[in-house]
Chain A
Amino acid sequence: EPEVTQTPSHQVTQMGQEVILRCVPISNHLYFYWYRQILGQKVEFLVSFYNNEISEKSEIFDDQFSVERPDGSNFTLKIRSTKLEDSAMYFCASKSAGTPYNEQFFGPGTRLTVL
C-alpha cells in the first residue's frame, strides 16, 4: 500500500541553524501539507501546497518557514533559523484530487529537537 515517507525520523539542531525536513508524498497525490505537534498539544496545520504554490498557511508559518517541491517526488519544509519553540513532531500529509471527504494521509513524522 502506498504511503507517505519522511526523513530524517529525528533531527537535532542548535538554535539559529537551518533545517530541512523531507517528505515523499504518495505518488499520484496532488495536494501536500505540513502539520506539527508540539509535545502534549494538538496537531496544528502549517501550510498547504498545490500546483507548485502555497494555497494556505497558518499564522505559525512565518518568514522563517518555506516549502518547496524541488522535483516530482520530494516535498520539503525549511526552517531558516530555528528557535527553541520549533521543537515538535512535523508531519507531512498528502491527498489525491479525487478524495471525496478530504482524507489526508500522513507520514510517520520527523521529531525536531532544537537545543
Chain B
Amino acid sequence: DQQVKQNSPSLSVQEGRISILNCDYTNSMFDYFLWYKKYPAEGPTFLISISSIKDKNEDGRFTVFLNKSAKHLSLHIVPSQPGDSAVYFCAASASLTGGGNKLTFGTGTQLKVEL
C-alpha cells in the first residue's frame, strides 16, 4: 500500500539554503495534506497543512505547494537551519470517505542541514 510516497530517503542542505522535500500520492480521494517533523525517540510534530482547494500555504519559513493534477506536493524550508535536521513525513487524509479521517503517511525523508 504505497498511497503516499517520498522517494528521497535523505537530503543534505547547507545552512541558509532552501530545502525542498517532495511527496507523491496516488489516491484521488485525498483532500488534506500535512507535513510532520520527527526527531529520534519523539512523536511526529505537526508542521503545516494544505487543503486540496489550495495550491500553496505558507507559515513562516515553511511553505507547502500542492499540484493536484500531478498528485504531488512539496515542502520548502527557507532559510534552512541546523535545528531543522530531522525526518520529515508527508501525510494525507480523505475526509469524504467517512470514518475517523486517518492519516496515511509516507516513508519519510531524513533532512540534514549542515553548517
A interface with B by C-beta (< 8 Å): 4, 6, 31, 33, 35, 41-45, 47-50, 55-56, 58, 91, 93, 95, 100-109
Contact = CB atoms under 8 A, between A and B. Distances in A.
A91 B44 contact: yes
Contacts of B103: 33, 35, 43, 45, 102, 104
Contacts of B106: 42
Interface stretch (B20-28, B71-79, B92-100): B92-100
Contacts, number: 75
Given A33-B100, A102-B93, A102-B95, A42 B46 contact: no
A55 B51 contact: no
Interface residues of B, number: 27
Given A44-B105, A102-B32, A91 B100 contact: no
Nearest 6 interchain pairs by C-beta: A48-B100, A56-B99, A106-B43, A101-B49, A55-B100, A45-B102
Contacts of A108: 41-43
The prevalent SS among residues of A at the interface is strand
Contact of B99 (A6, A48, A107): A48
Given A102-B49, A102-B93, A103-B49, A4 B43 contact: yes
Given A35-B103, A42-B89, A109-B42, 16 more contacts: A6-B43, A31-B100, A43-B44, A48-B101, A55-B99, A56-B100, A91-B43, A91-B44, A95-B101, A100-B49, A101-B50, A106-B46, A108-B42, A108-B43, A109-B41, A109-B43
B104 interface: yes
Contacts of B89: 42-43
Contacts of B34: 101-104
A108 B101 CA distance: 21
Nearest to B5: A42
A103 B33 CA distance: 9
B105 A101 contact: no
Given A42-B107, A43-B89, A91-B43, A101 B100 contact: no
A101 B4 CA distance: 17
5 contacts: A48-B101, A91-B44, A105-B46, A106-B44, A109-B43
